[in-house]
Structures are given as C-alpha cells and as structure tokens.
Structure 1
Amino acid sequence: MITQLIHSGANSIPRSKSMHDAKYASILTPIGKIGISVLNSKLESISWLSESSPLIEPDDQSTKYIASELSNYFMNPNYRFNVDMMLVGTPFQKRVWEALINIPPGQVMTYGELAKQLSTSPRAVGGACKANPIPIIVPCHRVVAMNSLGGFFGEQSGHMMDIKTWLLRHEGAKL
C-alpha cells in the first residue's frame, strides 16, 4: 500500500524548507546508484546517481526502510511497496502519478492509452512522467509509446533508456 502527502509545486529536487531537514542515502542497485531523500519519514525523491557518486549508507530508520523497500523490489519485481511519499507537483502531474501507481508490474500502457483514461494528451502524460520525483515506486517506466519504448526522463536513447528496458524486463513485461 502506498500513501502520499501531497504538496503544491512542480520541482523534483528536494523540497524541504532547509536542506538539512531531509535525510539522504544512496544505494547500489542492479541499475546503478540510486539516491533517496526522505523528509519527515516520507519519501521525497529517488534520483539516478553517477558511478562516481559516493555511497551514503542509510543511517536512520526512514532511509534504511526505503532502502529495504527498494532492495525488496530488486529481488522480487512483484513486490508491493509500502511507502509513505511526499509527492510534489501540479494537480495534473499528481493525477498522472496516481494513475501510474495502478499499472501492475509486468504490464505497460501507452502514453495514448493513459492520456485517454485521463482525458488529456499523450505529450502531457510524457511531461508528467518526466517530472516524476519518485521513479520505480511511481512506475513511469511502465508507460511506453505505441510502437516503441518511448522515452525515459527526457531521453530517447542512452543510459536512461537502458534503465527503462532493464526495469521492464525485470518485471516480465513483453517488449
């Protein structure tokens, strides 16, 4: 079960009043280093880190818990996250992110299908996916183009598309 604390704003960087209020950690995963930011025990962001980024061990209860949840997913693609999230975005982005959470592992939906469900355009859905502050848990990787994988965080090829492909294969999606 995923619960959320939703605030206004559309920025995907940590949104705490003071950067010192948030707890940070980074973990090594099969798709590289991932950074996590937690504020008041709520997951605020997941980010992709470069190989040269130092590992920051989770050292408090909230970051250890999020790291454990992600580890469980990487061991079992059907793992159901139980994470409190602080999703920050526009009302439209939040609608898209809520819809993403309902796409089961191993399944995909096209940008057009999701757009039709939400009475909007495929391009708008893609923009909301690109702005997603909590990838993997809010699974924007499960949205694809009609005839291809589409993009991933603004990229049409390269490392981010390798991550999208890996996540979809990990979940058993037919590519």
Structure 2
Amino acid sequence: MICEASPVGPLGADAEDGAITRLIWGRGGTLTQGALHDQLRDEMAAYFAGHLKKFTVPLAPRGSAFQQEFYTALCAIPYGETRTYGDLAADLGVSAQAIGQACGANPIAILIPCHRVLAANGLGGYSGAGGIEAKVTLLRLEGAAGLLI
C-alpha cells in the first residue's frame, strides 16, 4: 500500500518497467517495495501534507495518442488551478465530451490531476473512489476551494 490513510482513503499502485501505470483506490497494487514504491509513497505523503506541488515519480499511463496528449495537458495544469472541460477541448481540438471521457479513463488520478478539470457551471464528475467528494477534497487541499463557491 502506498498510502494507508490519505484524505481520500487508502491508495495503492501498479507499476511496470520503472514507472507507475495505475493508481488504485481502496487497496494495494503490485507496487509493494523498492525505490519506486518509496518515491511514490514519499511524494504522496508530501502532496497530502501540502508540501509537494508537482509529482516527479515516473508515469506510464496506457492510452491512445489522444489520451497521451491529454495526460500531458492535465499535468500542465498548475497546482491549485483548474481548467474547464471546454478549455481543454479547445486546446486539444476535440469535444468537451471527449475530454470528460478521457478524464474518466485516467488510470493515474491525482498524479495526473483530472481533479483540476471542472465543468463550465460546476464541478463535473470524478471517477476516483469517493466521486465528487474526493474531487472536492483534492481541490481544497490544493487551495482551489474558492473556485467551488
């Protein structure tokens, strides 16, 4: 287990070839020891403590060329800031619905910060365990709670 007790519950991870491939909500994953495990555990603890603004642990999410471009765009959203589905859709030349679907398919939520993507008139959804409450928790942690009011 990477985080036994995070603000969004227990978190585990899977890894392959020295990079994180999936964050797992509610239970452990295949990454249980070693340098990558320790780095992810330490970065997650620092993030949840409010001391880490950008993850450096290697990531290797699976996905199409569009999904890879989308993940890069998500990682470019600064800590404590948000974008709308429409903003990202315009940047990537796709529909807002495509952005919503890509958010829902993000295998490494939190590290690839889909919680920073909001609907034009509200929070939108969140596919992590805990749903919208987890999204709100992460936005509050990052100091983006003012955006929610």
* Deviation at residue 81 of structure 1 after TM alignment: 1.1
**Structure 1 stretch 120-129 or stretch 77-86: which is displaced more?**
77-86
- % identical aligned pairs: 36
Take 1:97 and 1:57, find their aligned partners in 2: how far apart are those partners?
A: 21
Take 1:62 and 1:146, find their aligned partners in 2: how far apart are those partners?
A: 37
Aligned-partner SS, 2:78: coil
> Larger Rg: 1 or 2?
1
- Partner residue in 2 for 1:31: 8
**Higher percent of residues as helix:** 2
* Deviation at residue 56 of structure 1 after TM alignment: 9.0
Aligned with residue 90 of structure 2, among 98, 108, 116: 116
Aligned-partner SS, 1:32: coil
* Deviation at residue 77 of structure 1 after TM alignment: 5.7
TM score, norm. by length of structure 1: 0.76
Residues 72-125 of structure 1: CA deviation (Å, up to 9, x unaligned)? 111126522111111210111111111000101111111011101111100000
- Partner residue in 1 for 2:119: 145
Distance of aligned partners of 1:32 and 1:96 in 2 relative to their CA distance in 1, 3 Å threshold? same
Unaligned runs of 5+ in 1: 1-24
- Partner residue in 2 for 1:166: 137
**Higher percent of residues as strand:** 1
Residues 127-175 of structure 1: CA deviation (Å, up to 9, x unaligned)? 1111111111110000000111000118xxx921110000001101121
Unaligned runs of 5+ in 2: none
Q: Contact 1:27 / 1:57 at 8 angstroms: preserved in 2?
A: no
Aligned length: 145
Take 1:146 and 1:55, find their aligned partners in 2: how far apart are those partners?
A: 35
Distance of aligned partners of 1:39 and 1:31 in 2 relative to their CA distance in 1, 3 Å threshold? same
Q: Does 1:46 align with 2:20?
A: no
State the superposition RMSD in angstroms: 2.2
Distance of aligned partners of 1:26 and 1:125 in 2 relative to their CA distance in 1, 3 Å threshold? same
Aligned-partner SS, 2:61: strand
Take 2:59 and 2:2, find their aligned partners in 1: how far apart are those partners?
A: 17
Aligned-partner SS, 1:45: strand
* Deviation at residue 58 of structure 1 after TM alignment: 3.9
Aligned-partner SS, 1:168: helix
Take 1:129 and 1:95, find their aligned partners in 2: how far apart are those partners?
A: 12
* Deviation at residue 57 of structure 1 after TM alignment: 9.1
TM score, norm. by length of structure 2: 0.88
